[in-house]
Amino acid sequence: MAIVIPMMIACLWITPCKADLRLVTSEDTLYVYDGPIDDQEPLFSQEISGFRNYDFFNRNNSIPGRACYIFETGFPKELIREKCINQIDTWTGNWILILPFETNNFQETLQDLPKSFPTIQSVIFTYIAAPEITGPAPSQNQPQIISFARTSELANITEKAVPKSDQYFFKHKHKYIEYCDVMKPAFKFYLITISTWGLITVFHILWTWILRKDYSQHLQKILLFIPVFFAGYSLIDYVYFMSCPWITANGVQYLQIVQIALVTIFNTLFVGLTCFISKGWSIVRNSFTREELSSITMIVGIFYLVYSAYFIASDISSLRVVIVVILILMYLWVALTCLKNSIVNIRTLKSHIAVTGPEEVIMKSLKLKKYLMQHFCIITMLFYLNKIIHSALKAFIDDNVTVRNIIIANLFIELLIVGYFLLIFRTRKWPEYFSLDIFYQRIGNGDSDENLPTSIILNAVTSSQWVNNPESKDCMINGDEADTLGKYKYKTPQVGVLVNTSDKENCKLFKLLRDEEILSDSE
């Protein structure tokens, strides 16, 4: 996290960050000429990134002159004077200084530049890794253009700059571009969604913690973070776009950091939540094995890293495309994993419903569990399909108007999908035995039996239509029909369950049940 946040901040100080919308950006270009510039065509040019937070960013500007490249870090004044200014005694025009970026000396370099070298009118900072920029440039009249470029991008240019060569001339051009009006039609839609999410949040709190607090389970309480996130994120998004063009608002970069952090954390948490629910948490079961928890943790961790890389790589177009493809594959992987787990749960519930009589008291609970898991499949597919389409469109479409329309559509699509999710999993008066766990078990008499997942319902009355078959490995325990399990004497049970007595885990299970019942009797 200590590395991710500074890199995100660096991306926001430098433009253009190849983000979804480029409302305020610049086109900074360095041109190379083989003689005095006048009206001749340049030999070649190199596009570089503009620094967005200095006094002249919102002005179009062009600095012709000589270029000097300093290899040493920091702000070596004597070296600049020796290798640049004094290298061409006859030159009295502008200088374009190219030097490596160093976080500790960034502010000092820009602060001392007008006093020490009044002829240096533009600066290009080179970097290998994303620079950690601590704040805006000092407010002063020099330099007039500040840009950033990767060291590899300027390989050809540094060969033609002083001190290696004094034959070439350069022009550093800065073009300011603003498209703030593009987002104005979206403001009313943001206000509608912010109000709707606010109402959903208030209603969820009232319904879950006040009106139905006696029936609220952990799942329903945890779901509060979903409408809270969407309300908060939509509000921050609205304020951010309202602040465009962000020239004088120094704190807006940190507002965007909050946006990025919220999106990363929410998507990570939501992926984890869908993985848990697909496994049947709070519906079919309330606990998981260590292996299951490890696999879910691994999925969530990988997803967090990929999503963080998505924002860190936003200023490198080719790498960003690769990260988007990986992110889409991750969405697809999680969606299919959740679908697979949910189908296993649904088949298990169907098989148990098939062997449970319609008059059984637990039937309502089983049907509700199946209903929830079926709708969860639909919700999961809709949510991740929307994520895949939305990520792909925003990554591969450059037109601001089209991206704006995609954002508006996504506001309402997410509202419908998440609203559907909250409605299905709302707190309700649960039927009897709904909170009981279902443990998966294979029931059968040998190889001829199908591997149909079934279940054991503990602490509940199960179907009495099962009859113990002496030739099978299955055993029926129902009232007084069976009161032993292996060598353990079991007190007359109050439940009916179908188990495989050759399974060591089942022996352990019933031993625990026996001990628990003895303990309750002693109390």
Tens digits of residue pLDDT in 214-247: 888 889 999 999 999 999 999 999 988 888 887 6
CATH number of 24-178: 3.50.30
Please determine, for residue 454, whether its predicted confidence score (pLDDT) is greater than 80.
no
Whether 96 shows a pLDDT value over 90: the answer reads yes
Residue-level pLDDT at 59: 87
Q: Where are the alpha helices (DSSP H) in 90-217?
A: 106-116, 155-160, 187-206
- Closest Cα to residue 400, out of 191, 245, 246, 181? 181
What's residue 315's pLDDT? 60
Give a three-class secondary structure readout of 73-122. CCCCHHHHHHHCHHHCCCCCCCEEEEEECCHHHHHHHHHHHHHHCCCEEE
HEC string for 239-291: HHHHCCCCCCCCCHHHHHHHHHHHHHHHHHHHHHHHHHHHCCECCCECCCCHH
State the Rg of the chain over Cα.
33
The pLDDT confidence band at residue 251, using thresholds 50, 70 and 90, is low
Closest to 25 measured CA to CA, from 315, 255, 239: 315
> What is the mean predicted confidence (pLDDT) over 401-427?
94
pTM to 2 decimal places: 0.69
What is the rounded average pLDDT of the residues 384-404? 88
Q: Which pLDDT tens digit goes with each residue over 462-481? A: 333 333 334 433 444 433 33
> d(Cα 370, Cα 353) in Å, to the nearest integer?
9
Residue 184 DSSP symbol: G
pLDDT of residue 466: 35
pLDDT in tens, 144-199: 999 999 999 998 999 999 999 989 999 999 999 888 899 999 999 999 999 999 99
Which range is least confidently modeled, 18-27, 148-157, 499-508?
499-508
354: tokens are 């098939």
Mean pLDDT, the chain, whole residue set: 79
pLDDT, one tens digit per residue, over 38-77 is 778 999 999 998 887 777 888 899 999 999 999 887 778 8
DSSP tally for the chain: helices H, then strands E? 13, 14
List the one residue out of 424, 427, 415 whose CA is nearest residue 198.
415
> What's the DSSP call for residue 5?
H
What percent of the chain stands above pLDDT 70?
Answer: 77
**Residue 501: helix, strand or coil by DSSP?**
coil
Domain residue limits, the chain? 24-178, 181-424, 438-522
Label residue 500 exposed, middle or buried (CB < 10 Å: 0-12, 13-18, 19+): middle
Quick one: DSSP state of residue 45? E
pLDDT value of residue 51: 85
pLDDT of residue 377: 95
At a CB cut-off of 8 Å and minimum separation 6, what does 272 contact?
296, 299, 300
